[in-house]
Amino acid sequence: MQDLTAPSLALAQPPPAAVPAGEKLPLAAVALGLLALLAAAADADPGRARLSLCLALALVSGGALGWAWLAFGQRPPGWHPHDLWRRASTSRGAVAWATGVALTGFYVVLYWFPWLLENLIRALDPFSQWLRHRPADQWFLYGTFYTLAVLVLGGRGLWKYRFSRYHLARTASVMFFQLGFGFLLPGLLLALQKPEYYFSYFWPLKYDYLFPGTVAQLLHGGGLGAFMVFWGVVMSFLATPVLTYFLGKRWYCAWVCGCGGLAETAGDAYRHLSDKSRQAWRWEVRLIYPILGLIILLTGLLWVGASGAVPALGVVTGPLGQFYGFVIGSVFSGIVGVGFYPLMGSRVWCRFGCPMAAYLGLLQKHFSRFRISTNGGQCISCGNCSNACEMGIDVKQYAQRGEPIVRAACVGCGLCATACPRGVLNLENGPREGRLAASTFIHADSLRIL
């Protein structure tokens, strides 16, 4: 339903936002970098392709960082998302559609047509040999691009949020975990002839880490393998509840996780696109908890099968495992999760599909000291908080009722508190007693909001 009298027509017509002259240079560098990437992909000569690739990465990274410096570093520090809903790139315009299709297409090629990337993969061979003592493959290419995206756009984040030490710490943390735990350490393990293992991912996100087959394989790998199994079990079942009790799910989702890391850096410009409607929230609940149930069921069945108690279980676990791996592990987490950033916001996967987020969310909602407090009666219902929420929480509904926000979905990015022009919101860990108590300055109205 649309307001007929709303000045939507007048407001939707933006003054043509010309690109400032200074920004054209870094933009040109990014464009040339993409061209060089294309050249590298098309060149069968490994030497030349390598040179093109290096040039491409330098131009794209340098251009992006330069652009970030001009766009954010040249303004007074502070939160000013001007023209967010007027730029084609951030308001589901033509640029956003093109970006979404290109990103989605990259995933499709990566998953199903990796030979199209053969020249790029070969160009990375020397780097892979140096880091991992083995030739590159499509996943090494992906890991390199992924890490570079987190680092470069994390650099953009550091410029953009230089006024807030919370955001600086959060951004630095995801950059550190992606580079160290998501890229260098697994490479080093491979170089040392050890199993490739990501210490920053656990079951149920990295679901196969606790499958009987993986556990058996790791236990064969001696002391380090045994430690990896131990680490996985402890992180999943002990550290996760304990840390979530004290800090909320943000300790993982907004500070450690690689998916979260990409969302907070590369996806930062798209956070406002997450749908805040009641319908979207219903879809979220319908999807994320069944997915958690599915992976618990699958893991349980595999262990029952491995115990030999029910010999015929393979008939169920085989197809179920394939379905989960393909639909959830590949399509949802990669293709939709990242490919749809420019159209549906940066946390599509985290919000609708991630079983780890569901697990953490249940803990956060029912068993945690974390909440977002609202500050008395000062909310002016402006909607900036909801707009900034990448998880699609309609924060404003809580703030204007003076209620603390205790939601399973909240990843604690803290942008609602930053965007609030009245300083009404604050992320806090406090006593659990009274954490749901509403402010005395606004009387709850008990009418349905969801």
Partner 1 sequence: MHLVIIGNGIAGVTAAITARRLAPAARITLMGAESAHHYSRPALMYLYLGHLRYADVKPYADWFWAENHLELVQTEATGVDVAARTVQLATGPHLAYDRLLLATGSVPRIPDWPGQQLAGVQGFYGLPDLETMSRNTQGIRRAVVVGGGLIGVELAEMLHSRGIHVTWLVREGRYWQSVLPPEESALLEAYFRKYNIDLQLNSEVRELLGNVQGQVRAVVTTTGQELPAEWVGLATGVQPNLALAKAAGLDTDRGILVNELLETSAPGVYAAGDCAQHRQPAPGEVAVEQLWYTGRMQGETVAHTLCGQPTPYRRGEWFNSAKFFNLEYQTYGRVPARPTAGIASFCWQHPNGRHLLRLNFQEKDQAVTGVNALGLRQRQDVWEHWLREKTPIGTVLAQLAAANFDPEFARQHEAAIRRAFARQFPSIAVAKPRRKGLFGLLK
CB of 265: closest distance to partner 1 in angstroms?
19
Verify binding: residue 438, partner 1, rule CB under 8 A. Answer: no
Q: Give the whole-angstrom CA distance, residue 445 versus residue 405.
A: 16
Task: Out of 48, 86, 134, 365, point to the residue binding partner 1 (CB under 8 A).
Answer: 86
Verify binding: residue 220, partner 1, rule CB under 8 A. Answer: no
CB of 66: closest distance to partner 1 in angstroms?
21
**By C-beta, is 15 or 308 nearer to partner 1?**
15
Q: Concatenated DSSP letters for 311-379?
A: GGGHHHHHHHHHHIIIIIIIIIIIIIHHHTHHHH-TTHIIIII-HHHHHHHHHHHHS-SEEEEE-TT--
**By C-beta, is 330 or 378 nearer to partner 1?**
378
Spatial contact of 413 and 264, defined as CB atoms under 8 Å apart: yes
Longest dimension (CA), the chain: 71
Stretch that binds partner 1, among 1-9, 47-55, 238-246, 338-346 (CB under 8 A): 1-9
Task: Out of 54, 331, 382, 406, point to the residue binding partner 1 (CB under 8 A).
Answer: 382
Verify binding: residue 74, partner 1, rule CB under 8 A. Answer: no
CB of 93: closest distance to partner 1 in angstroms?
13
Verify binding: residue 14, partner 1, rule CB under 8 A. Answer: yes
CA distances for 243 relative to 143, 275, 360, 365, 414, angstroms: 28, 29, 10, 14, 18
Task: Out of 44, 47, 76, 309, point to the residue binding partner 1 (CB under 8 A).
Answer: 76
Residue given tokens 């349905």 in the structure block: 448
Number of residues that bind partner 1 (CB under 8 A): 67
- Of 49, 47, 26, the closest CA to residue 37 belongs to 49
Amino acid making up residue 367: F
Enumerate residues 274-333 that contact partner 1 by CB under 8 A.
277-278
Q: Give the whole-angstrom CA distance, residue 280 versus residue 386.
A: 14
Which backbone phi and psi does 99 adopt, to 5 degrees?
A: -65, -45
Which backbone phi and psi does 162 adopt, to 5 degrees?
A: -65, -10
Verify binding: residue 166, partner 1, rule CB under 8 A. Answer: yes
Enumerate residues 406-425 that contact partner 1 by CB under 8 A.
414, 417-418, 421-423
Site string for partner 1, 239-278 (x = CB under 8 A): --------------------------------------xx
- Tell me 327's DSSP state: I
| Other CB atoms within 10 A of residue 327 CB | 14
**By C-beta, is 6 or 312 nearer to partner 1?**
6
Q: Give the whole-angstrom CA distance, residue 203 versus residue 195.
A: 17
CA distances for 403 relative to 199, 406, 427, 436, angstroms: 37, 9, 13, 7
Task: Out of 22, 77, 293, 319, point to the residue binding partner 1 (CB under 8 A).
Answer: 77
The continuous run of DSSP H or E covering 95 comes out as helix 94-112
CB of 427: closest distance to partner 1 in angstroms?
6
Which backbone phi and psi does 373 adopt, to 5 degrees?
A: -80, 150
**By C-beta, is 210 or 379 nearer to partner 1?**
379
Stretch that binds partner 1, among 43-51, 108-116, 290-298, 434-442 (CB under 8 A): 434-442
Spatial contact of 178 and 261, defined as CB atoms under 8 Å apart: yes
Q: Which residues are near partner 1 by CB under 8 A?
A: 1, 3-8, 10-11, 14-15, 76-87, 163-166, 168-169, 277-278, 373, 375-378, 380-384, 386-387, 396, 400, 414, 417-418, 421-423, 426-428, 430-431, 434, 439-443, 445-449
